[in-house]
Structure 1
Amino acid sequence: MNKAECDKELARLREVFAKVDPEKADLVDGLIQDAAFLFAENAELRKVLAQTGTVKIHPDNPNLQKPVEAARQYLKNVGAYAVIIKTLNGVLNKNMLDEDDDDLGEFE
């Protein structure tokens, strides 16, 4: 994994959550770290898969194929990353709804 890429993504995600209630942001900080890790890990796996492909094909018998382990791991990571991002997005949306409610209270 590229640590610089992970740190860059971690900073980006924390910036997105800068306006979230500090207690909520602290609660999801582990998910933010996991998302940054998976983002960087998948970037590395994509580089490998660009060179190797996702399936090894037997040179003498094209009907014999074998999935590359990096492709399997990439798909697992993408699934986990999607769940984490969906969860984080839910926290952001809830925070935005809470802010909108405050504005309506001032209107009344």
Structure 2
Amino acid sequence: MSKKAVYQQELEKLTEIFTSVDESKRKLVEGLIEDAAFLKSENFVLRNTLSETGMVKIHPSNPSMQKPVEAAKQYLKNVNSYAVIIKTLNGILNKNILDDDEDLSDYE
């Protein structure tokens, strides 16, 4: 799968999840959805690279000398940013569900 395909797949998935959300909220999170898709696609590439190189370089003659690979550092930063975005988006979804439940309680 290509980086572009991963981006498109994540963008479509998140956009579909937010179809039932109020349009003003959907517009508000549009950028976050795009950022999440971007981070997902970037990490796809980094993960493929890391599966070949590993996350830590180990000195060939002295295994106690180790150095983290720069791609691994970036991967972890991206994962943390992605997690924050997804948590934020999930909070908006849950707020939307609670709002819908409150609307239904008016008919009880």
TM-score (norm 1): 0.96
Looking at structure 2, the residues matched to 75 and 47 of structure 1 have their Cα atoms a distance apart, in angstroms, of 14
Report what 2:91 is aligned to: 90
Identity %: 61
Structure 1 alignment gaps of length 5 or more: none
Structure 2 alignment gaps of length 5 or more: none
Report what 2:50 is aligned to: 49
Report what 2:28 is aligned to: 27
Paired residue total: 107
SS in 2 for 1:56: strand
TM-score (norm 2): 0.96
Amino acid at match of 1:18: T
Runs of 4+ in 1 over 3 A off after TM superposition: none
Report what 1:40 is aligned to: 41
Report what 1:8 is aligned to: 9
SS in 2 for 1:62: coil
Looking at structure 2, the residues matched to 49 and 85 of structure 1 have their Cα atoms a distance apart, in angstroms, of 23
Amino acid at match of 2:78: N
User: Quick check: 1:60 aligned with 2:64?
Assistant: no
Looking at structure 1, the residues matched to 9 and 82 of structure 2 have their Cα atoms a distance apart, in angstroms, of 16
C-alpha deviations, 1:5-37, integer Å up to 9, x for none? 101110110000000000000000000000011
